[in-house]
Structure 1
């Protein structure tokens, strides 16, 4: 059970990160959409190590809808690259799921990679690298603090969400 104020704090922090990026228009709406759903996914995955389809599917539908509208309004970015980044990351994470990573991560990364790919391939790769780096740092810290072992599992969704927000902030 999480603290009663944690969902609000998590959502406020995600919204503050999006606002700090200074993005406007429909692309900003896509970022806020994923910040909202991402906050819920972060808390759920942290608590039960599961990313439910009831949240990952709306995340994808909303993200692709808002990016399509942003493209129709000729906002800077590329819908084609966003779709290609989403597809590439989805395939990569599906392969990783065969080795033990969760399929929920593979579903979530589609939305997040589309949002990052809208900018550039560089930003899409930066988001994934930041996610893996942050997860590695936390894992090493937990091992050193003897709070986990090499066989312990760790939810990766929160790191994907935080890495995405960090890459978007680094790009702005």
Structure 2
């Protein structure tokens, strides 16, 4: 029964925070050399909650724009439900639920603009390690803050090497995202970190091959990697529950 209520609360949290994502996703989905969007497609200045950063993306005349709100709400709710089912009542669940909406935001931006903004990725890494440090002090945790720290550094360094080898196929934003993903998966140990990383790249490969088969892309087409690395991290958290 406890698991049911935890999962239900997590779904409500995911759905509620998902409502806050569309406007930020729209504003951040710009090429690297352009400033964040300050107006809707019709030219109306963006204002509202969080100085115009949080909430649904709607023009002054009521028209919606940017990524689909129902899609983002659904994805955020599902992700939170999966994390809750995998983590149960352990303290680190609070950390995963805080990170989940930000992960959905980053995935939406990367799918739209093939970009992972520094304004989100860098603070996210610091916040993740800080929150896991607090969680590690509480009873009932199933992880190690030291492993999370080393995992963050190791995965970040590994992705940086991949970036140096193939900068056209591997963005520097993915390197900075790796600091967070390494902490999340490293929390459960090196095995989960490795499996989660492999899962992310496999999902990315399947996505690319599917587009090629459907003739919507070719072998030289660029695709966003971030959403699949994030999904791989969720797979890692889910797999960690089988060893608990």
The alpha carbon displacement at 1:151 in A equals: 0.9
Do residues 49 (structure 1) and 118 (structure 2) align? no
Distance in 2, matches of 1:118 and 1:23, equals 16
Aligned residue in 1 for 2:179: 110
8 Å Cα contact 1:27-1:67 kept in structure 2: yes
The alpha carbon displacement at 1:6 in A equals: 2.2
8 Å Cα contact 1:33-1:62 kept in structure 2: no
Task: Extract structure 1 runs of 4+ deviating beyond 4 A.
Answer: none
Aligned residue in 2 for 1:78: 144
The Cα offsets for residues 66-123 of structure 1, whole Å up to 9 and x where unpaired, read as 1100122252311111111111110111111221211111111111111111111110
Do residues 27 (structure 1) and 119 (structure 2) align? no
Alignment of 1:50-65 (within 5 A): 50-65=115-130
**Greater relative contact order (Cα 8 A, min sep 6): structure 1 or 2?**
1
The alpha carbon displacement at 1:22 in A equals: 3.1
Paired residue for 1:162, among 190, 209, 231? 231
CA separation of 1:156 and 1:169: change in aligned 2, threshold 3 A: same
Aligned residue in 1 for 2:156: 90
The Cα offsets for residues 28-84 of structure 1, whole Å up to 9 and x where unpaired, read as 122112211101001010100000011112311221111100122252311111111
Do residues 4 (structure 1) and 92 (structure 2) align? no
Length, aligned pairs only: 172
Aligned residue in 2 for 1:132: 201
8 Å Cα contact 1:26-1:67 kept in structure 2: no
| Larger-Rg structure | 2
Distance in 2, matches of 1:32 and 1:41, equals 15
Distance in 2, matches of 1:62 and 1:26, equals 16
RMSD: 1.4
Structure with more helix by fraction: 1
Q: Structure 1 stretches of 5 or more lacking a match?
A: none
